[in-house]
Structure 1
Amino acid sequence: MVCRPAFRLLPMLLLGLPGPGGMATVAYAGEITPSPAVSPNPSLFAPPVPPVVSTGPLTFAPLVRQVGPAVVNIAVAQDSHTTTGSRQPLPPSVKGTPFEHKFRERMRAHGEEMLGAGSGFLIDPGGVIVTNAHVVGGADLITVSLADGTEFPAHLVGSDDLTDIAVIQIHAPHPMPFVPWGDSRLVNIGDWIMAAGNPFGLGSSVTAGIVSARGRDIGTSPFDDFFQIDAPINPGNSGGPSFNLGGQVVAVNTAIVSPTGGSVGIGFGLPSEIVAPIVEELRRNGHIDRGWLGVTLTDGTGHDGVQIVGIDRNGPAMKAHLHIGDVITAVNDEPIDTSRMLIRSIAAKRPQSTVVLHIRRHHEALSLPACVGHRPDEDMED
């Protein structure tokens, strides 16, 4: 479990176990009685109208039956023979949960150092599974458990730390159940959403809620663009899917905000419009090769470009004759308003491709061609 200070006073938690546990307390407000001296004037209010939306489903049971077999639990471990130092104790968050017995059993039987657990989902009958990179990162051994309890060893196909997405695969003797991608661009604030996973190692379970917001930047990478959802998700839900009512995956559950380690109704899922292309690239190449410009940027120039405050001496920007102080206003014909927009625009370009950068330099408009470079793994600028 990794904790990140993402909001004031509340830690940001990535959702794979192990992680901080505990339960939040609930306080109830006292009943408030309106003052009898003040009566509402009916003329202040518009006439009542029929609701603009239908009521929600009476039950999610058909949806659970439809998608449940494709949701998996993932346990990760290191081979103790390949690690040095003394055996690591069980994390506090595992003690007292259903994972404690399984962790101790595997440690005794196989000499494994258990690292944690999370969730995932099958996206084709050949056993390809999507999860979070932080769930499987550093693992020597990956074990996938289906909803019926059947276990399979899995291998890592590829992972991308900047979006926290990983692809793993099992080899089963028969075709696997799977779920399709839905188009997250069609998801509206207020839409129903159902999250599935393995919270606190309890086993497969589901929760339901609504999409609370779109486009959340939680400070984990330049590519943050999360759905905020209020369907309760907890440690162990990492990598699990969130479904629309049609049984399509529209987000991958990744993080929560919580002062206790448990759900307080603020969770974050990475939309399918970002995840699905990443998954296809990982399946093809095992890694993501992003474009890179080699500049340090600052916002604050209004809604008309971003300013360059630093240039990598060996990067593409230097070779394109960009200067510190230049304001980049567009890439090709795409207007640029924020540094995030520029980073994502350049990252989407193929390395060695050429883009035209429209800039403003001392009140003069210029258009400069630039050959996009390969983004360094450790570099978080553009």
Structure 2
Amino acid sequence: MQSDTLTDRLTARPALRRQVSCGLALGLALMLSSCGPQMALARSAPDSFAPLVRKVLPSVVNIAVTETVSGGEMLGELPPELRDTPLGREFRRKFGNRREQVAGAGSGFIIDPSGIIVTNNHVVDHADKIVVSLTSGRRFPAKVLGRDELTDVAVIKVQTNEALPSVPWGDSGKAEVGDWILAAGNPFGLGGSVSVGIVSARGRDLGAGPFDNFLQLDAPINPGNSGGPVFNMEGQVIGVSSVIVSPTGASVGIGFAIPSDTVSPIVTQLLAHGSIARGWLGVSVEDRDEGVMIASEDRTGPAGRAGIRPGDVVLAINGDHIDSSRGLIRAIARVTPGNNVRIAIRRQGREMEFTVTVGRRPTELQAG
């Protein structure tokens, strides 16, 4: 595995201060005047990101995974136009019954000195063998402690008697569009690398699942960065790199990270239980002009047993207004299975309220 020895130098431009007239006040008095809103000065970039990199990079790890696939699975990778050709038949003859080892690579970061590491679920979900490499070159076998497919978060652990460098969580809720961030990881398997950019947008929904709430970043993120940390300027993790949008497969300046406010509680639950217990109603829902409508349901599910029916429009859960299907799904998912919730609905112009004992959400379902 080669190490990336290239270092990009970043030259910070001085922040330009805008001046606004307010009455006859001039100069500094203008900035302190109470006759209008005060302008907040932009946070300038540091002269160098090197101190931040030295602080956080030792906690960033490369994750190598090995997965065993059958020849039949490999055949599925053949383009359809080649499967019934002489080349396709020869491929089936040679590899159809063979089991092969396929290697992959991703990134992660250490959150506890005992060797607990956070990464993406899609990095390790089919791994037969996981090897973690530190920036120092040391390598450790790792095992999966817990995975959550719906948020694409996984926790793994290496066995070691020494304290490893770790990084703290930051508050992604405080990250603003335009804030500087530093992304670290293992792009294209090159080894520990960093890139710098800003938060481009918040709350992105990519349609990958009901819990999408990505931070959009313009820092270059490439294949192999998956699972790597995104740091604020204090060296705290505010996101986990997960998705890129690209027609080429490489970075075009649009990447997405799972916010730390989503990842951190998931990690806590995975460490405690190995999986996530989410609430479930047993219904499918649709956004309509009149609100969130129950489109269909499992009559033996929690909502069906409580008396909720298709066509009902959900108004509130435990008194909190519901204005979207995603909002309903998230509200129910936060409820511990076995607990009761009050669901207010409108049925044929009449408002009603039901008490529902929430069930446990099957991971493969995307309904409420």
TM-score range, shorter chain: 0.7 to 0.9
> What residue is the counterpart of 1:165 in the other structure?
153
> What residue is the counterpart of 2:66 in the other structure?
77
Q: Which residue of the other structure, out of 27, 30, 41, is the alignment partner of 1:52?
A: 41
Scaled by the length of structure 1, the TM-score of the pair is: 0.78
> What residue is the counterpart of 1:194 in the other structure?
182
- 1:126 and 2:120 equivalent? no
2:247 maps to amino acid: P
Match of 2:209, SS state, is: coil
| Contact preservation (8 Å) 2:59, 2:109 | yes
> 1:276: Cα distance to partner?
0.3
> 1:322: Cα distance to partner?
0.6
The one-character-per-residue Cα deviations of 1:352-376 (angstroms, maximum 9, x if unpaired) are: 1000001111221111100000111
Q: Which residue of the other structure, out of 27, 35, 56, is the alignment partner of 1:67?
A: 56
Match of 2:165, SS state, is: coil
> 1:54: Cα distance to partner?
3.3
| Contact preservation (8 Å) 1:88, 1:113 | no
> 1:51: Cα distance to partner?
7.5
> What residue is the counterpart of 2:242 in the other structure?
254
Match of 1:274, SS state, is: helix
| Contact preservation (8 Å) 1:239, 1:252 | yes
Taking the aligned partners of 1:87 and 1:289, their CA distance within structure 2 comes to 32
Taking the aligned partners of 2:169 and 2:349, their CA distance within structure 1 comes to 46
Match of 2:335, SS state, is: coil
Taking the aligned partners of 2:338 and 2:142, their CA distance within structure 1 comes to 35
> 1:300: Cα distance to partner?
2.5
Structure 1 residue runs of 4 or more that deviate by more than 2 Å after TM superposition: 45-52, 83-89
Match of 1:318, SS state, is: helix
Higher normalized contact order (CA 8 Å, seq sep 6+, divided by chain length): 1
Provide the alpha-carbon RMSD of the alignment: 2.1
> What residue is the counterpart of 2:309 in the other structure?
323
Taking the aligned partners of 2:155 and 2:172, their CA distance within structure 1 comes to 20
Identity percentage of aligned residues: 54
> What residue is the counterpart of 2:228 in the other structure?
240
> What residue is the counterpart of 1:336 in the other structure?
322
Taking the aligned partners of 1:150 and 1:71, their CA distance within structure 2 comes to 12
| Contact preservation (8 Å) 2:71, 2:100 | no
Taking the aligned partners of 2:50 and 2:143, their CA distance within structure 1 comes to 32
Deviates further, 47-56 or 139-148: 47-56
2:306 maps to amino acid: A
1:187 maps to amino acid: A
* Structure 2 spans left out of the alignment, 5+ residues: 1-18, 22-26, 32-38, 78-98
Match of 1:299, SS state, is: strand
- Judged with a 3 Å threshold, the aligned counterparts in structure 2 of structure 1 residues 353 and 310 are, in CA distance, closer, same or farther, namely same
* Structure 1 spans left out of the alignment, 5+ residues: 1-44, 92-110
Match of 2:71, SS state, is: coil
Q: Superposition pairs for residues 193-342 of structure 1, below 5 Å?
A: 193-301=181-289, 305-342=291-328
- Judged with a 3 Å threshold, the aligned counterparts in structure 2 of structure 1 residues 174 and 313 are, in CA distance, closer, same or farther, namely same
The one-character-per-residue Cα deviations of 1:265-310 (angstroms, maximum 9, x if unpaired) are: 11000001110000011111111111101111111225xx411111
> 1:347: Cα distance to partner?
0.5
Taking the aligned partners of 2:349 and 2:162, their CA distance within structure 1 comes to 65
Q: How many residues align?
A: 313
| Contact preservation (8 Å) 1:115, 1:139 | no
> What residue is the counterpart of 1:348 in the other structure?
334
The one-character-per-residue Cα deviations of 1:150-209 (angstroms, maximum 9, x if unpaired) are: 100000001000000000000113001000000111111111111000000111000011
1:256 maps to amino acid: I
- 1:366 and 2:352 equivalent? yes
> 1:112: Cα distance to partner?
7.3
> What residue is the counterpart of 1:32 in the other structure?
none
| Contact preservation (8 Å) 2:150, 2:363 | no
Match of 1:380, SS state, is: coil
Deviates further, 49-58 or 367-376: 49-58
> 1:262: Cα distance to partner?
0.7
Taking the aligned partners of 1:214 and 1:84, their CA distance within structure 2 comes to 41
